[in-house]
Structures are given as structure tokens and as C-alpha cells.
Amino acid sequence: MNIAVLGAGAWGTALAIAFAAAHRVRLWSWDAAQGEEMSRLRANPRYLPGAALPSELEVTSDLSRAVADADLLLVATPLAGLRPSLLSLKDLGAVSAARPIPLLWACKGLEAGSGKLPHQIVAEELGTAYPCGALSGPSFADEVARQQPTAITLASLDAELAAELARQLHTPRLRIYAHDDVVGVEVGGAVKNVLAIATGIADGLNLGLNARAALVTRGLAEIARLGEALGGRRETFMGLAGMGDLILTCTGDLSRNRRVGLGLGQGKTLSQILGELGHVAEGVSTAREVAQLARQRDIDMPITLAVDAVLHHDLPAAEAVEQLLARDPKAERD
């Protein structure tokens, strides 16, 4: 299969490396200088240092070259790049009703300003019948690139498409499970980043492992409440794209969102943290959109609202924790 991976950040590069062993892969970078550097060094020192690019993996900054003869398009940009990528593909004539090349996205979050999930963005730009799906689950790019065992989810409203693409992309080291709950998979992938910031704050304040476990568990309840309200299924949040991704992102030191929270808990400013990070932390913008959705739909998401208040409304991290601890007791099922 010919695969065009659009986005040469850490995750796009890792997926390109993983799939290049069994498929013909072209990796597209919007930055011509970065693309040339990657081709010359056979590495991505900016976003994925230490990972060698296979000789058979082609890197290009020419989008038309990247998608030429593609059997699958995989958008691996940050979420902010999803809609522009779709528009560029449409302008090239690479995607259309007459040329429905299957498309997957590996970005997580809610679109800033609109609050839309990725599948809603794709539906707006390509139509609801376009063959497409989401790739999500517990996965650090560095470990995927180093071929450490990883399991993720491929979700599509077309169950047959999900099963076929999962079969073709599945490798012994990157296990891919088909799913048909796109909303549930996307909500799990989006909100876990917000909760990773919360657990990072708790760890930065040295609140202990008990507090971390409580935040992860109650955070999963928040994911499920929002997901079900948007049309997802509760059992999805017990799987890879829900609980699995949440546990990894909240506890793994490679998590950018967790590192944002750690910095906030240690008294650093958000601008300072993001400057040091050098990568996009999707939970920062997603927190605002999820908080707004929770208010609009009257969904109880106190941890998410607290994170939003710390990030965007100047609430001190320690004070946010005190407010959460001061909440009235309630039944766990609520």
C-alpha cells in the first residue's frame, strides 16, 4: 500500500517509520528546510531525535509529490493543521467524491473556536460519506519509532473500512484494533490531555500518588460523561482510546501535557512552559473548548473546569486544588 503521511512532527515521523517496513511511505513536511534536513540526515532531530529514518522512507515538502499514487492519506499534524491540510488536499484534487482515497487522522483535541471534533471537521470539508477514520490510543512517538510494543485504535463509522485498514496497518510491534465509535475514541483522545495537565499539576505540587490515582479515576468519569453526551458509548472509555490513553498520558514522563501541568505546579508561567517545551501541547487549547462544552450542556466536569481556570483565567494551581478538595461529598457513580 502507498501511504502519504502528512505532518513531519514527532507522531507523523514515528508512524511513517513504523509503516515503512511493510508499505511504501512518503512523509510530507510543510517546512521545506526541515524536509531537506530530514532527507539529508535521515533523521528528524527537531521533533524525534535519536530515531533513524529507514532508507525506503521518502521525505518531501512537495504535497503533490507526497500524495501521488497514494492508497491512504494519514494526517498527523496538530489538530490546528487538520482543516488547512484538508483544504490543501481539496485544492490539489487529491480528495473528492470522484476520488475518495481513504483518509485517517492522528490528531487529538477540539478545534479552537468551533469546539468541533476531528470527524466533524472532516465531514464539513469532505462530506459525511467520505471514507475516513481516527487513529488514537496510548502511544508515545518515541517508543513507536523505537519499535517498542504499542496498541492503538482505528475507528471509523464504516466498520468494514476500519477492519480492513487495521488489518493492513497492523504490525507485530504496532497492534491496531478496529472500532466503530468515532465520537468515543475522539473524546477520549481529546480530554485525556486536559486531565494529564491536572495530574501534572498535582505531581508538581507534590500531592502524592493517592491524589494522582484519584484524579485519573475521576477524570475518566468526566471523559465518559462528556463522551456519552456527544454520542459515544461508555464501553469505549474503558478501552485503549479511553482508559489506556488516559493512564499513559497522566503518568508517562514523555507526556507533553503532563509536563505542562508539572511546570504549573512548580510555579512556572504557561508561556515559560510552552517556550521550554518546543512542541504543541494539545490540552492547553482543548481545555478551553471542553470547559465551554461542559457549561453549555450542563455536564459535571470539575477537574476540566479547574484546569481551564488555571490555564486561561489566572487561577493559581494550588488554589484550584483547594477548590476541588472543598467540593461536597457525593456518590461515586455520580
Q: Which of 180, 214, 249 is the last residue of a domain?
A: 180
Residue 240 lies in a domain: yes
Q: What is the pLDDT of residue 142?
A: 97
Report the Cα 288 to chain-centroid distance in Å: 16
Phi/psi class of residue 314: alpha, beta or left (left: φ > 0; alpha: ψ in -120 to 50)?
left
Query: pLDDT class for 315, splitting at 50, 70, 90?
Result: very high
For residue 174, the enclosing domain spans: 2-180
Q: Mean pLDDT for the chain? A: 96
Q: Which residue in 90, 192, 268, 330 is the catalytic one?
A: 192
156 within 8 A of 133, measured Cβ to Cβ: yes
What span, in angstroms and rounded, lies between the C-alpha atoms of 43 and 59? 10
Q: What is the CA radius of gyration of the chain?
A: 19
Query: pLDDT class for 332, splitting at 50, 70, 90?
Result: confident
One domain, residues 160 and 194: no
One domain, residues 255 and 132: no
pLDDT at 329 over 80: yes
One domain, residues 196 and 170: no
What span, in angstroms and rounded, lies between the C-alpha atoms of 193 and 226? 14
One domain, residues 23 and 167: yes
Number of residues that make up the chain: 334
Percentage of the chain beyond pLDDT 70 is 100
Distances from the Cα of 92 to the Cα of 81, 124, 250, 295, angstroms: 17, 18, 39, 40
pLDDT tens digits, residue range 209-254? 999 999 999 999 999 999 999 999 999 999 999 999 999 999 999 9
Q: What is the pLDDT of residue 275?
A: 92
Q: What is the pLDDT of residue 322?
A: 92
Query: Position of cell 462528556?
Result: 226
Residue 332 lies in a domain: no
One domain, residues 173 and 229: no
One domain, residues 280 and 151: no
Q: Which three cell numbers stand for residue 189?
A: 483522545
Other beta carbons within 10 angstroms of residue 298's beta carbon come to 7
Q: What is the pLDDT of residue 189?
A: 98
pLDDT at 1 over 90: yes
Residue 330 lies in a domain: no
One domain, residues 197 and 302: yes
One domain, residues 34 and 108: yes
Domain count, the chain: 2
pLDDT tens digits, residue range 121-168? 999 999 999 999 999 999 999 999 999 999 999 999 999 999 999 999
One domain, residues 227 and 285: yes
Decide if 268 is catalytic: no
Q: Which of 113, 145, 180 is the last residue of a domain?
A: 180
194 within 8 A of 220, measured Cβ to Cβ: no
Q: What is the pLDDT of residue 331?
A: 83
If you average pLDDT over residues 314-324, what whole number do you get?
Answer: 94
Q: Which residue has the higher pLDDT, 72 or 332?
A: 72
Residue 334 lies in a domain: no
pLDDT at 80 over 80: yes
Q: Which of 180, 212, 241 is the last residue of a domain?
A: 180
Whole-prediction pTM: 0.96
One domain, residues 101 and 129: yes
pLDDT at 64 over 90: yes
Range 87-100 burial, b when 16+ CB lie within 10 A, else e: ebbeeeebbeeeee
Q: What is the pLDDT of residue 328?
A: 85
Residue 185 lies in a domain: no
One domain, residues 274 and 312: yes
317 within 8 A of 264, measured Cβ to Cβ: yes
pLDDT tens digits, residue range 28-37? 999 999 999 9
pLDDT at 333 over 80: no
pLDDT at 90 over 80: yes
pLDDT at 98 over 90: no
Tell the burial category of 39 from Cβ atoms under 10 Å away from its Cβ (0-12, 13-18, 19+): middle
219: CATH: 1.10.1040.10
One domain, residues 20 and 159: yes
